[in-house]
Homo-oligomer: A and B are copies of this chain.
Amino acid sequence: MSDAEHASPTTLPPADHTDAVELLGLVAYTELASFGRLAGDAAHAPTLRQRQALSRLAAAMLDRQERVLVRVEELGGDPADCMSPFDGLFDDFDARTKPSTWWEGILKGYVGQGVADDFCLLAAQGLDERSRDVVVEALTHDTPSQRYAPVIAEVAAEDPVLASRLALWGRRLVGEALGVVGDVLSRRPALARLVAAGAEPVAAGGGSGPAPATQSWVFARLTAEHSRRMDRLGLAA
C-alpha cells in the first residue's frame, strides 16, 4: 500500500469496507435478535418492576444497534441489507435451546449474547479504528449481561437446586453457541479474515496454545471468557 493510500481512510480498497460492513451487519443482527429475546423475557417477567427493567434494557440495546447501523451507512452500506446474510442465524440455536423456565431464558441471554458479543469483539480487532470503537461501545457499555449478572448470582446463591440446574443449562448453551460461531466462521470468509487480521498482534507476541485465528484458537478464547462470566454468577462453567 502506498503512502497516499495510508493517508486517508477514504482510499481504503473496497474489500476492507465490505468486510467491515459484514461484521457490523452481524453485530446489528445480533442486537436485533437480542432486542426481541429481551422484550419477550420482559413480557413474562415475574414482577412489573422486572418487566419494566428488562423492557428498558431491550430498548437501550436497539439504540446501540442504531449507532452500529449509522456506521454501516458511513461506510456506504445499507442498514437492512447488511443484516440479511445473517437472517435466521439463531433459528437452529433457538430450536435447540428452548428455556423451560424464566430463569433459563435469562441465562440463555446471558450466555448466548456473551458468546456472540465476544466473537464480534474478537473480529472487531481487525476493523478500522472508527468501526472498532463503534462495535466496542455497542457491545461493552452497560450491557444486559452486566446488569443481570448480580440478579442471577443472587437467586443462584439462594437456591442451590436452581443453581446446579442453571450450571448444567449453561454448559448446554455454550456448546450450542460455539456451534453457531463455528458455522459463521466457516461460511463467512470476511469474518474469518477479520479475526485473522485482529489476531496478528497476538501472534507476534508468541505464547502457547492453538495457532492464532484458527477455529480452535477462537473457541479457546470464547470458552475462557465464558468461564469468567459463569464465575461472576457463582456457577460452575
Contact = CB atoms under 8 A, between A and B. Distances in A.
A83 B49 CA distance: 9
A87 B40 CA distance: 17
A79 interface: yes
A35 interface: yes
Q: Decide if the interface of chain A is mainly helix, strand, loop or mixed.
A: helix
A48 interface: yes
Interface string A38-70: 011011000011011001101100110010000
A76 interface: no
Contacts of A51: 32
Number of copies: 2
A59 B63 contact: yes
A36 interface: yes
B48 A80 contact: yes
A32 B49 contact: no
A42 B39 CA distance: 10
Contacts of A186: none
B39 A58 contact: yes
A84 interface: yes
A58 to B, nearest CB: 7
A32 B52 contact: yes
A87 B48 contact: yes
A52 B79 contact: yes
Interface of A: 32, 35-36, 39-40, 42-43, 48-49, 51-52, 55-56, 58-59, 62-63, 66, 79-80, 83-84, 87
Which 3 A-B residue pairs are closest in the complex by CB-CB distance? A39-B39, A59-B59, A36-B43
23 contacts: A32-B55, A35-B39, A35-B55, A35-B59, A36-B42, A36-B43, A39-B40, A39-B43, A39-B58, A40-B40, A40-B43, A48-B83, A48-B84, A48-B87, A49-B80, A52-B80, A52-B83, A55-B62, A56-B66, A58-B59, A58-B62, A59-B59, A59-B63
